[in-house]
Structure formats: C-alpha cells, structure tokens
Structure 1
Amino acid sequence: MSAPLLDVRDLRVAFGGKEVVHGASFSIAPGEKLALVGESGSGKTVTALALLGLALNARLSGSALLAGRDGEPPLDLVSAPERRLLQIRGQDIAMIFQEPMTALNPLYTVGDQVAEVLQLKQGLGGRQAWDAAIEALAATGIPEPARRAHAYPHQLSGGQRQRAMIAMALACRPRLLLADEPTTALDVTLRVQILGLLADLQRQTGMAVLLITHDLNLVRRFADRVAVMENGHLVEQGAVDEVFAAPRHAYTRRLIDSRPARDVDEEAAGDQPALLRASGMEVGYSVPIPGFRGWFRRGEFVAVRGADFALAAGRTLGVVGESGSGKSTLALAALGLLPHRGTLDAAGRRWTGSPDADRGLRRQVQVVFQDPFSSLSPRMTVEEIVGEGLLVHEPQLGAPERRQRVLQALADVGLAEAQFPGLLDRYPHEFSGGQRQRLAIARALIVGPQLLVLDEPTSALDVTIQQQVLQLLQRLQREKGLAYLLITHDVDVIRAMAHEVLVMKDGQVLESGPVEQVLGRPSHAYTQALVAAAA
C-alpha cells in the first residue's frame, strides 16, 4: 500500500455547538476511488466541504493530512489558514457540486468559467486560458467544444452542464476530486456516461476520487472502496465487493436491501374500461423561425407524436425515457394543461380548456410532482395545503368536516397527530423530504381522484425513503383502486410499480407493452441500453 494522499483522523464538525460529524476517520490512496455513502443528512457533504474549508461557521477538530508535492511535508487541512486553502482549492483538490445549474454562473459562458480557473490557478493569459478551456471541454466529450464554450449554462443539456463542471474541476489536474452526487440530476444512461468519463479521466491523470452518493448502483460500478455514514458516524468501511457481499452493520444492510420491491395487484382491473386513453396523440409547441420568414409566421416543435396507450383502474402505466423524450409533455397533456391533437380521454371525458367546464374532471385526475419542497407553498400550513382542494370541489363543507377529512387523508399516508404534535399547524419546512412527499400525496387524494399522474415522485428522495413512498403508493392503489400514470427515468421504479410500460425517445413511443416483456425482453436498442444502464 502506498502512503495515503489524504489521511483523515477523528474529524469532527460542529455548528453552533451541535456536532454533526462525529470522529470520522478514513484515507484515500493516490489514484483510488472511495465512495462515501449515506442518506441525506448523514454528514457526507459536510465532511467534504470541511476538507476544503467551505463549511461556513463550522468548528472543526481532528486532522486531515494532505500529502505534500515533491517531498514537501503534509498539510493539515483542518488547521490550515484560509490563504493556504485558497491555493489548495482547484489546484490540489477540486470539487464537483450536485446541481450544475445552480453551481455554474448564469451570467458567464462555460468557456469563460473554465478559463477563469486556469487564469487564477495557473497564471495563463486570456488566449492561452481560452484554448486550454476548449481542450478541457473536449476531454469531457462535449460535442463541438469550440462552439459550446460560447454557450451559457441554460443553453446546455443537463449532461452537458455536468461535463462543463467536470472540465472546470479538472482543468488544473488536481490530485483529489470530491464529486458530490455528480449524477443525481441526470438520466440513467447519462449517469453511466458521466461515471465512465470520470473513470477514464481518473485513469489518465492518476487522481484520486471521493464520490459522495446515495446511489448504490453507482458505487458498485465505480468505486474501489466504500465508507458508509449514518447520522455523522462512519459505521462501516471496506472494499466494495466485500461490503456489498457481507455487510456487517445493520444500517449498511438496510441501504443494500432498499431497492424498490414489487408489491402490486397483477390482475387488477384487467377487463375494466380505460380511465385514460390516447390514440394518435400529438403535442406541439410554437417556436420562432430564424431569419426573414420568422417575421410572418412561427414554426412548431412536436414534443409528442403519435402516442397510443390505455390505462385502467387499479393499474400503473409507466412512461420511461431520458430528459427531453416527451415524458413530462405527455403528462401535462393528460392533466389537461397542454393542447393536443388526436384523441385523449380522461375518466370518460375530454379536456375542454375551460376552467369551469373542466372542474369536475380535475377532481378525477390529480398530480404528485417531483419535488415536494417546491410544489408545497411555504406560507401555508398542513391543514391549508391538504384541505385546499376541498374548498374548490366541496365548498359546502364546514370547517369541522373539512378538518376531519384532512386528518383522514393524512392518516391514509401515514401522518398522524400522535406522531407529529400540532401536525395541522405545521409548515412544509418542518418535515423531511419523504414526509413532504406524503403531504403532496394526501393533497392529491383528499378529493377522491380516480387517476394520479406521478411525475418522478421519488427521484428527489434517498433510497430508503424512496422505498417507503413506493410502498405507500402500492398500498393506496390496492385499497382505493387508483390508476397511476408514472413518469420516471428510473428503471427500478418502473419494475416495482408498472403493469404496462411506454418507452419514449425524442417524442416518439419506441416500445410498449407489459412490464415483464418490455424490460425482460426489450426489442428496441434504446430500451436495451436503458435496461443495461440500470443493471
């Protein structure tokens, strides 16, 4: 074993007197890939930020010795002054943040942002830095790097933005890369591409990587060793194969066993009429035409073309595909929020576009959004959020009756006053991510819908919380006979929840049928790639 590049001993991090990382000890050898695994709030990201002095207002103790260059003595990152840490950041240790859209500056092109690092850290001139930035972008596999360098972050896809962040982090060839959930916001195939890219770059440069994630599939594919963190404690460490084959700690076993499990009624409503049916459905967006012709007319981008499907009560239709495939557009059309061509019937009726005429149908078709924190009003209490639908659809109810209905809806999703004193008067920020998603489900269920549109309902959640929410949705479907239109890019969620599947790419349905057929024996090359990426 070579001497460690980074040797962390008894690292403790506290905020305002409350310790959140409790004596973490681990090491990373040169060229090694270590995965730091745990749920949200376990202390993974705080640990990484503390190493670079980026945990604001934190009190640190312990040591984190970074090996010196060219015979220099090691540097203790915990006690190093800010001036020294400024030299280390980007040069010796770089970091890829979780969400590139918020980490990249929206006012500068990606080329300028990569070049800025090279100018500050390596003293390159403007022209040299720009040329080196294009080379760095090219190394990450961005197509047409010279042109993309002039693009702003919002003009790039999610995968391209993440590649731009990787180019920025690796521009100065650091010895250690801290990758904080670098693929969480990406589709399953893009996740595999980004991990493959990081592995290739790691082999080329010889850098070490500390991968922070809660995705165990990524750990299996990428890491040499794994360290498991629970509530600020490192509870288990070891080689990936050994830990996954024979986990010693109960928390590690729980993480490994948290893959979505299938528990649906396979025979539900097989001969019932469809609650949602589409035939030849198309959805298009008006777009400007460049040049002289755009003065007189606009063009059209067809986001969904020729979709055919049917969904009966008690069953789940999964729609899977990458970002930009048309999944969300299809869901918005099913909710009556986008005009469409062709046939689309929901609960035996058609959307008219009139709020008054569609009010009854809106009660039958409800939605649960991807991010419960942004879809729940921070200014409304739980009682106001969950009971809002009753004010619209059952205005004749008095306050006591409405409150009783709210309590029942909350109980249906596993939230009760006994568990959360003052539940009805609380606000969304007082709940965890999984609990907020339960609130969103209760808000949808309280008006008694027949069909729920689930738009990535678990993608923002940890694996154990994801498993709990999926089990809740499966139970509610069995008890209430609900139909689900499930939009996701997670093949494991489709396997657990769906009866039938639509596979979409570039607005077209490439393959459809029963879940065991489409995912078990995929016929289209794109479906095969999706299934292989999720294996």
Structure 2
Amino acid sequence: MTVPLLQVTDLSVAFGPKTVADGVGFSIAPGEKLALVGESGSGKTVTALALLGLLHGARVAGQALFNDGQRTRDLLALPERELRGLRGGDIAMIFQEPMTALNPLMPVGEQIAEVLRLKRALSPAQSAQEAIELLAKTGIPEPARRAGAYPHQLSGGQRQRAMIAMALACQPKLLLADEPTTALDVSLRGQILDLLGGLQRENGMAILLITHDLNLVRRFAGRVAVMQHGQLVEQGATAQIFAAPQHPYTQKLMASKPERDLVEAPPAPGETPALAAQALRVVYPTPLAGIRGWFKKGEFVALQGADFAIAPGRTLGVIGESGSGKSTLAQAALGLLPRPLVSGQVQVAGQRWQLKAAADKPLRRVAQVVFQDPFSSLSPRMTVEEVVGEGLRVHAPELAAPQRAARVRAALTEVGLEEKQFPNLLARYPHEFSGGQRQRIALARALIIQPQLLVLDEPTSALDVTIQKQVLALLQRFQKERSLSYLLITHDVDVVRAMAHDVIVLKDGAVVESGSAAQVLGTPQHPYTQKLLAAA
C-alpha cells in the first residue's frame, strides 16, 4: 500500500472552553485531491491552519504525520523553526481572503519573488522573471505590468490569482487550498482548476481543497470529506457521495440551491429610479514609457458608456469576468471615485453625487454597500456593536446609546446572529467570526439605517451553499418588505438567476448585452455571454 503523504488522526482544536474541531481524521495520498466541505464555521479552515501551526492561542491535540518521501514527521509536534521550513516549501497554502494575506506595501510580483529567493535561492533577476511567468500561468492579463501593481490596484479575482501564483512558486508536495476560486468568475475557475490539475499531474502534488462550491468539488476532487460542527460526518469517493449521500447533513448540502422568490411585476411608469446612469465612463491615467511620459499620461478605460436604471424594489445583476469593470461600476454608482476619473451622469433617487462629504451625506443614507471581502471592510479594532451601529452614529445622532444598542441587536437578529448563539455578541470583534458570519455583520451594518438602494459586490462569494441560500432568501424578503433596490455584482450565474430582474453583461469595461434576466440568461445573443453561461 502507498504510504499516505498526510495522515491526520484524532485532531482537535479548542479556543478557551470552546472546541471547534473534534476527533478529525483523514488521509491524503501523494497526488490525490481531497475536498473538505461544510458550512461556514464548521471547522474546515481551522483544521487546515492547525496543520501549519497558524492558530495562535489555540489548544491543538492529535497527530498529523507528513511523509515527504524521505522521513515522516508529526506536523503538530514540530518546533516552530522546522515547521517554518515546511511552510511555503513542501506544504503551501492559498488563503481565503487575499486582501488580508497579501502585504499592502509591496507589489504582488515582489511578494512572489521574495518566496522564490528565500525558498529556492534564485537571484533577484531570476525570481522577478519567474514571478511574471507564474502570474501568466494563473491567467492574469498583462502579467509584467500587473507584477508591479499593489494588491489594492487589482480586482478581487486578480488578487486571488496572485495568491495562487505565490503558493505554487516552490512546487509544493501538498497544497492546502482554502476557497482558491472564491473570487474568480466561472470561466477563470475552470482555468485555475485546469492549472492546479496540470501541476498536480506534473509534480505529483496532493491537494486538500476547502470549499463550499459543490460543482467545483464534483469536477475536481477524487474524494470528499464532509464537516459539521467540527466533526467529520461522512467521507468517501466523490461519485459515491454525490450519487447517494448517507448523512442527513450531506443530503442537505446537496439539496441547497438558490431559489427565485421575487416580485415579478414591472416597474410603475414614471417612477423615479433608485439608481440611474447615462453614458457612465471611468478612465484612469497610466504612465507612458520613454520621454513621452514626461509630458502626458496614457489612459486606461475601465468603464465605457454604461447606461442602466434600477426601479424601486428591483434588482439589476451585473456579470462579467474578473477585471471586466464590475467593481468600477459599483464605485462610480456610489460616488466613490473622484470627478476627474468619471464622466457621464449617475443619479441616486433622482439626485446626483456632489462628491462633497457634507452635500452627499443624505444620499449616503439612501445608498449603502456590502463589499466582497467582509474581513477587510470591517474594522478589526471595532466591536460588532460599533461596526453595525456606526451608521446610526452618523445618520441618527439623536439616538441614545441604549437605543442604538437595541437597534444593533435587532439588525443582527434579522440577519441570523443572536446573543443565545454568540454570548456577549456586541462586544466581540470581527476576527472572532467565520467568513459567512462576517458577511452577515456587513449586511446588518448596511441595513440598519434603512437604505433604499444596496450595492451588493459579490455578497455571497465567501459563503457555503446552505448559508448562501439563507442570505439570498433574506435579501429577497427585505426587498419585498421594504421595496429595496439592489445593484448585484456577481460571477455566480445561479445567484443572478435567483435574484435579478434585469441583467447587464460587462466585458473589458463595455456593456456587451443587457435585458431582462429571462432574456439574457435564457437566450443570450452575444458570444461572450454564451461563453459565461456555458462555463457556469
């Protein structure tokens, strides 16, 4: 029998009195692909982090035997110095939230090159060139230029691909991939899976894939292990688990899919749109090479000539590949871009952004946003009460502290977070919650001031299928009860099918197709839209 590359036995993880992983056991053979699935907070990521000694303040017990072909070592018993040598070398990890994992003060190419210099002793010139080649392999356009970009200058998907390039830099024997395609659109998901599969066959690399995307699991993994409340409840071959799941929880996961429950009536004639844009264009200045750059700047057109309107109580879905201009459109719609970059017209509830803090304050209450990455959008120094109640302090300063706290509790209860589930909830900090729970906090923060328009930038990309279904049902209920309007930006076609009344498709900053959701998703006319739907 082949000796397992990794054999985990009776792994348990506890923080204080709370046990978050209990009796976890699985094995991974060289070159095997194992998927670890389960709801947000089930212990998937904690299990992976425990293997690399990245859980500070946790009590970790059990055994994790790693056999690199020469010797066997217990990862849970290794001293920090020896474990540090394994991290990024024989064992690499792709983290779920690239904006917090990447250094904001270094270009992404330099961060990848640093790994190559430290782990493979390449020269600065060699490491810089290989960093560009790794970025190219992950599908980033213009890799030489993007290598010089800082994390905040890349889209969410591009940041995730930079993380993947960094993890693969040293050709690891074991890759721990924590939601490696979460921020990627459907076509790029396929590219990344093909890339990982090719590297696995080429190098004999094993992959522990942590994900909530069951379609991805079906396509990619050879075996599946299902976690619930910190315990493995079922594991086996992928085909077997999908064909005949035995545990009730696994059956529930397989049955989870977004459902459409919307008010389908057309908008009333003459109604003022919650959001409208005419000829919306966003252009960023870029440096020109050579002597020309001394006298003038080039242009990068991120969005060109977009026209759309969202009536009260309706949802406009915006789909397109990473870097197509979706997030730029959202920033322009929210009045977050300086005037020199933006031309055309944007109106929220019939009023234009003045791009002045005092003048735009009333509109800030009307339009709120839920960002793609809740960890970076929630202040780590503020408690949940301060985070969710911040909008009330700005827009309802007349409320006393007890009234604000009551409103915060009510908002959190509406999104499914209660004191009985999380003792001392209001005094906790964002890092004490899972990714899905943080997104619920972000949603509560946006809804607490009762806006008319929500801009949803990939609102469920970090959520597992069951929680995604719950959050979408919650958004649908809020829309019906409050006549909320949504600008929904996503790469998940199932989410668009469930949520959108109308759809626009973006490619390279241009709207290539628009219309009702039934029309665009049912009978797409543009080849690019057809490609996106086929990849989904």
For 2:208 and 2:312, how far apart are their aligned partners in 1?
Answer: 46
Alignment of 1:329 with 2:331, yes or no, is no
TM-score, structure 1 as length reference:
0.83
For structure 2, list consecutive stretches of 5 or more residues without a partner in the other structure.
none
Question: Cα distance 1:391–1:159, how it changes in 2: closer, same or farther (>3 A)?
Answer: closer
Alignment of 1:370 with 2:372, yes or no, is yes
What are the residue-to-residue correspondences of 1:45-444 with 2, within 5 Å? 45-56=45-56, 60-67=60-67, 69=69, 74-79=72-77, 85=83, 92-100=90-98, 103=101, 106=106, 108=110, 110-119=112-121, 147=144, 151=148, 154=151, 166=164, 169-170=167-168, 173-267=171-265, 269=267, 271=269, 273=271, 274-338=273-337, 339=339, 340-377=342-379, 386=388, 388-389=390-391, 392-393=394-395, 409=411, 412-413=414-415, 433-444=435-446
Letter in 1 for 2:344: G
Q: State the shift of 1:369 in Å.
A: 3.0
Q: State the shift of 1:471 in Å.
A: 1.2
For 1:387 and 1:68, how far apart are their aligned partners in 2?
Answer: 51
For the residue of structure 2 that corresponds to 1:280, the secondary structure is: strand
For 1:452 and 1:233, how far apart are their aligned partners in 2?
Answer: 37
Question: Cα distance 1:245–1:300, how it changes in 2: closer, same or farther (>3 A)?
Answer: same
1:234-255 CA-to-partner distances (Å, cap 9, x unmatched) read 1110111221222222222232
Question: Which shifted more, 13-22 or 336-345?
Answer: 13-22
Do the aligned residues in 2 keep the contact of 1:319 with 1:488 (CA within 8 Å)?
yes
Letter in 2 for 1:364: V
1:373-401 CA-to-partner distances (Å, cap 9, x unmatched) read 44445566666655554555556667777
For 1:406 and 1:16, how far apart are their aligned partners in 2?
Answer: 27
Letter in 2 for 1:314: G
Letter in 2 for 1:186: L
1:114-154 CA-to-partner distances (Å, cap 9, x unmatched) read 243222xxxx7888878877776776667787x57974664
For 2:31 and 2:97, how far apart are their aligned partners in 1?
Answer: 25
For 2:132 and 2:385, how far apart are their aligned partners in 1?
Answer: 53
1:1-57 CA-to-partner distances (Å, cap 9, x unmatched) read 745333333333455676443222222223221111223433323333444455556
Letter in 2 for 1:517: Q
Q: Percent identity?
A: 66
For 2:41 and 2:60, how far apart are their aligned partners in 1?
Answer: 18
Letter in 2 for 1:285: Y
Structure number with bigger Rg: 1
What are the residue-to-residue correspondences of 1:18-57 with 2, within 5 Å? 19-56=19-56
Do the aligned residues in 1 keep the contact of 2:117 with 2:123 (CA within 8 Å)?
no
Letter in 2 for 1:307: A
Letter in 1 for 2:259: A
Letter in 1 for 2:325: G
Aligned match of 2:522 in 520, 523, 535?
520
For 2:131 and 2:509, how far apart are their aligned partners in 1?
Answer: 34
Question: Which shifted more, 402-411 or 307-316?
Answer: 402-411
Partner of residue 449, structure 1: 451
For structure 1, list consecutive stretches of 5 or more residues without a partner in the other structure.
none
1:67-103 CA-to-partner distances (Å, cap 9, x unmatched) read 463xx66544444566765665555444334445555
For 1:236 and 1:183, how far apart are their aligned partners in 2?
Answer: 24
Question: Cα distance 1:136–1:242, how it changes in 2: closer, same or farther (>3 A)?
Answer: same
Letter in 2 for 1:209: I
For 1:221 and 1:160, how far apart are their aligned partners in 2?
Answer: 23
Question: Cα distance 1:271–1:54, how it changes in 2: closer, same or farther (>3 A)?
Answer: same
For the residue of structure 1 that corresponds to 2:181, the secondary structure is: coil
Question: Cα distance 1:279–1:168, how it changes in 2: closer, same or farther (>3 A)?
Answer: closer
For 1:368 and 1:504, how far apart are their aligned partners in 2?
Answer: 20
For 1:390 and 1:18, how far apart are their aligned partners in 2?
Answer: 33
Question: Cα distance 1:227–1:333, how it changes in 2: closer, same or farther (>3 A)?
Answer: same
Question: Which shifted more, 502-511 or 373-382?
Answer: 373-382
Do the aligned residues in 1 keep the contact of 2:113 with 2:124 (CA within 8 Å)?
no
Q: State the shift of 1:295 in Å.
A: 4.5
Do the aligned residues in 1 keep the contact of 2:11 with 2:60 (CA within 8 Å)?
yes
Question: Cα distance 1:341–1:54, how it changes in 2: closer, same or farther (>3 A)?
Answer: closer
Partner of residue 12, structure 2: 12
Partner of residue 462, structure 1: 464
Q: State the shift of 1:317 in Å.
A: 0.6
Q: State the shift of 1:354 in Å.
A: 4.3
Question: Which shifted more, 502-511 or 281-290?
Answer: 281-290
For the residue of structure 2 that corresponds to 1:269, the secondary structure is: coil
Question: Cα distance 1:380–1:523, how it changes in 2: closer, same or farther (>3 A)?
Answer: same
Question: Cα distance 1:281–1:425, how it changes in 2: closer, same or farther (>3 A)?
Answer: same
- Report how many residues are paired: 527
Do the aligned residues in 2 keep the contact of 1:116 with 1:129 (CA within 8 Å)?
no
Letter in 2 for 1:498: A
1:288-332 CA-to-partner distances (Å, cap 9, x unmatched) read 555545445544433221111121111101112233222222222
For the residue of structure 2 that corresponds to 1:37, the secondary structure is: strand
Q: State the shift of 1:259 in Å.
A: 2.5
Do the aligned residues in 1 keep the contact of 2:40 with 2:434 (CA within 8 Å)?
no
Question: Which shifted more, 343-352 or 16-25?
Answer: 16-25
For the residue of structure 2 that corresponds to 1:226, the secondary structure is: strand
For the residue of structure 2 that corresponds to 1:220, the secondary structure is: helix
Question: Cα distance 1:451–1:153, how it changes in 2: closer, same or farther (>3 A)?
Answer: closer
Question: Which shifted more, 412-421 or 495-504?
Answer: 412-421
Question: Which shifted more, 176-185 or 105-114?
Answer: 105-114
Q: State the shift of 1:474 in Å.
A: 0.4
